[in-house]
């Protein structure tokens, strides 16, 4: 039986609320922590959410592929439809008892590309979601509010994100000639979607060669509906179904109106 984007979005919301319930139930309480082969942490809560999602998707959409952090997945096949998910984004914050985590998901369609995105913050019960070409929305306590594009500041007053988990000086060095002073560096967690939506943050740079699709897919759909560009520092488009360029310098989220200027400046800085 064929399914619609409305069906998929409804399913994504159901899974987000179920994931959030598990997070709230165990946050700052009882859960186990494991170390994965890559050295990153995963908790019994991540794994419980993943099991529930895998069971639910098999029952509701047996022909839909799941590409998530905690599920088994192979190479991306552009001829398949995918539900993309980060069961618990910001696991280290969750482990440390800090409110800096979320649940993220997106939907990739072979004809429409990435066309649904969702980010849910369980502690505050705030859900941001979007459908490509249809706008972005905030859902909280069963109320759905259409979101407007934030008013963008002048270029020299842009606020740049710096991940809280990153303790080094790379981002300060990289941006030293682009910002007036360090007050324009904004600490970010898994809550950066909310910071972008509310206009507290305009630029986010991830100066590494790889970022897993579950870390950006849901965020991308939402922010691009609000006037941001979500791509590579070299200006190329970021696509779920296409492998990252081998020579790219990292990832850039910024207002579309400033993308060309930021791309030029960042490429000059990072090429030294």
SS (H, E, C) the chain: CCCCHHHHHHHHHHHHHHHHHHHHHHCCCCCCEEECCCCCEEEHHHHHHHHHHHHHHHHHCCCCEEEECCCCCCCCCCCCCEEEEEEEECHHHHHCCCCCCEEEEEEEECCCEEEEEEEEECCCCEEEEEECCCEEEEEECCEEEECCCCCCCCHHHCCEEEECCCCCCHHHHHHCCCCCCHHHEEEECCCHHHHHHCCCCCEEEECCCCCCHHHHHHHHHHHHCCCEEEEECCCCECCCCCCCCCCCCCEEEEEHHHHHHHHHHHHHHHCC
The residue-averaged pLDDT of 24-48 equals 91
For residues 44 and 95, is the Cβ–Cβ distance under 8 A?
no
pLDDT at 247 over 90: no
* pLDDT for residue 172: 67
Number of other residues whose CB lies within 10 A of the CB of residue 212? 12
* pLDDT for residue 40: 86
The residue-averaged pLDDT of 135-157 equals 95
Phi-psi region of 49 (alpha: psi -120 to 50; beta: other; left: phi over 0): alpha
Distance of CA 172 to the CA centre of its chain: 23
Non-local (6+) Cβ contacts of 32 within 8 A are: 43, 44
Domains (range + CATH), the chain: 5-146 (3.30.540.10), 155-270 (3.40.190.80)
pLDDT at 244 over 60: yes
Tell me which of 112-121, 162-171, 172-181 is least confident: 162-171
The residue-averaged pLDDT of 7-36 equals 95
* pLDDT for residue 209: 82
Q: What is the mean pLDDT of the chain?
A: 91
pLDDT at 83 over 90: yes
* pLDDT for residue 272: 66
Tell me which of 112-116, 180-184, 234-238 is least confident: 180-184
pLDDT at 122 over 80: yes
* pLDDT for residue 61: 96
Model pTM greater than 0.75?
A: yes
Alpha carbon dihedral 49, 54, 60, 63, in 10-degree steps, equals: 150
Identify the residue with better confidence: 138 or 39.
138
pLDDT at 249 over 90: no
Residue recorded with tokens 């759905």: 144
266 confidence band (pLDDT: 50, 70, 90): confident
Tell me which of 39-43, 48-52, 256-260 is least confident: 39-43
Residues 221-240: pLDDT tens digits?
Answer: 999 999 999 999 989 999 99
* pLDDT for residue 167: 61
pLDDT at 267 over 70: yes
For residues 90 and 102, is the Cβ–Cβ distance under 8 A?
yes
* pLDDT for residue 169: 66
């Amino acid at each position: 039986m064929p399914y619609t984007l409305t069906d998929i979005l409804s399913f994504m919301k159901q899974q987000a609320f179920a994931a959030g319930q598990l997070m709230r139930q165990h946050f700052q309480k009882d859960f186990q922590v494991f170390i994965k082969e890559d050295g990153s942490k995963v908790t019994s809560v991540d794994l419980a959410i993943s099991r529930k999602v895998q069971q639910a998707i098999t029952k509701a959409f047996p022909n839909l592929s799941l590409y998530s952090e905690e599920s088994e997945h192979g190479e991306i096949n552009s001829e398949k439809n995918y539900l993309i998910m980060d069961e618990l984004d910001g696991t280290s914050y969750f482990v440390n008892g800090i409110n800096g985590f979320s649940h993220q998901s997106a939907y990739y369609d072979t004809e429409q590309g990435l066309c649904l995105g969702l980010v849910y913050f369980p502690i505050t019960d705030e859900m941001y979601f979007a459908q490509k070409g249809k706008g972005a929305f905030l859902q909280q306590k069963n109320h759905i509010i259409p979101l407007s594009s934030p008013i963008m500041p002048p270029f020299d007053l842009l606020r740049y994100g710096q991940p809280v988990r990153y303790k080094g000086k790379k981002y300060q060095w990289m941006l030293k000639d682009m910002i007036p002073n360090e007050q324009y560096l904004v600490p970010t967690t898994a809550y950066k979607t909310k910071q972008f939506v509310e206009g507290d943050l305009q630029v986010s740079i991830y100066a590494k060669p790889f970022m897993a699709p579950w870390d950006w897919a849901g965020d991308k759909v939402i922010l691009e509906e609000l006037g941001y560009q979500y791509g590579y520092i070299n200006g190329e488009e970021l696509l779920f179904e296409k492998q990252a360029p081998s020579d790219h310098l990292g990832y850039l989220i910024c207002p579309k109106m400033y993308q060309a200027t930021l791309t030029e400046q960042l490429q000059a800085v990072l090429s030294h």
